Amino acid sequence: MARHRKIQGEEIARNLNRRQLIELEACARCGECTNWCPVYAQDKRECISARGKLAMLRSMLDGSLTAEERTEFLQGLYQCSACGQCHIVCPVRINTPELWEQARYALVSAGIPQPEGQVKQLTTIKGFNNSYGKPQEERGLWAKNAWDAGFLKSLVPLWSERPSSVLYFAGCTASFDPAMQFVAVQTARLLQEAGVEFSILGSDEPCCIGKLRRMGDPAFTEEAQNRARQFDNSGVRTIIVSCAGCYKGLHSDYHSLWPGAQKVLHVTQLYEQLLHDGLLRVQQEVPLVVTYHDPCHLGRHNRIYDPPRNVLQAVPALKLVEMARHRAFSACCGMGGGLKAANPELQHKVSASRIREAEATGAQAVVTPCQTCYLGLLHGVEETSSSLKVYHLNEMLIRSVCPEVSREAIDAAFSGDQVKLK
> Does 85 interact with ligand SF4 (rule: CB under 6 A)?
yes
The one among 16, 24, 60, 83 contacting ligand SF4 by CB under 6 A: 83
The separation between the first and the last C-alpha atoms of the chain, rounded to the nearest angstrom, is: 41
Specify the residue, 21 or 279, whose C-beta has the smaller distance to ligand SF4.
Answer: 21
- Candidates 89-97, 131-139, 311-319, 363-371; binding stretch for ligand SF4 (CB under 6 A): 89-97
Q: State the Cα–Cα distance between residues 2 and 194, nearest whole angstrom.
A: 65
SS (H, E, C) 274-314: HHHCCCCCCCCCCCCEEEECCCCCCCCCCCCCHHHHHHHHH
- Report 49-68 residues binding ligand SF4 (CB under 6 A): 50-51, 54
CA dist 365 and 373 (Å) reads: 14
Q: What phi-psi label fits residue 278: left (phi over 0), alpha (psi between -120 and 50 degrees) or beta?
A: left
Q: How far is the CB of 116 from ligand SF4 (least distance, A)?
A: 20
214 forms part of the interface with ligand SF4 (CB under 6 A): no
**Angle, vertex CA 296, rays to CA 292 and CA 300, nearest 5:** 100
Q: Which is nearer to ligand SF4, 42 or 371 (CB)?
A: 42
Host H or E run for residue 167: strand 166-169
Among 24, 33, 341, 390, binds ligand SF4 (CB under 6 A): 33
Pick the stretch among 3-11, 21-29, 155-163, 204-212 that binds ligand SF4 (CB under 6 A). Answer: 21-29
Helix, strand, or coil here: 325? Answer: coil
Task: Report yes or no: 269 and 307 within 8 Å, Cβ to Cβ.
Answer: yes
- Taking the C-alpha atoms of residue 65 and residue 365, their distance in angstroms, rounded to an integer, is 46
77 binds ligand SF4 (CB under 6 A): no
31 versus 259: smaller Cβ distance to ligand SF4:
31
Binds ligand SF4 by CB under 6 A, chosen from 9, 84, 245, 299? 84
**Piece of the chain touching ligand SF4 by CB under 6 A; list 8-16, 81-89, 109-117, 383-391:** 81-89
Distance in angstroms (rounded) separating the CA atoms of residues 280 and 271: 7
Give the whole-angstrom CA distance, residue 17 versus residue 95: 12
Nearer to ligand SF4, 38 or 295 (CB): 38
Nearest to ligand SF4 of 206, 334 (CB atom): 334
State the minimum distance, in angstroms, from the CB of residue 336 to ligand SF4.
8
Distance, in Å, from the CA atom of 193 to the CA atom of 180, rounded to the nearest integer, reads 21
Hey, which residues between 90 and 109 contact ligand SF4 (CB under 6 A)?
Answer: 90-92, 94, 96-97
Q: Is 86 in the site for ligand SF4 (CB under 6 A)?
A: yes
Task: From 79-87, 151-159, 222-230, 280-288, give the range in contact with ligand SF4 by CB under 6 A.
Answer: 79-87
Backbone angles phi, psi at 7, to 5 degrees: -65, -40
Residues engaged in binding ligand SF4 (CB under 6 A): 27-33, 37-40, 50-51, 54, 80-86, 90-92, 94, 96-97
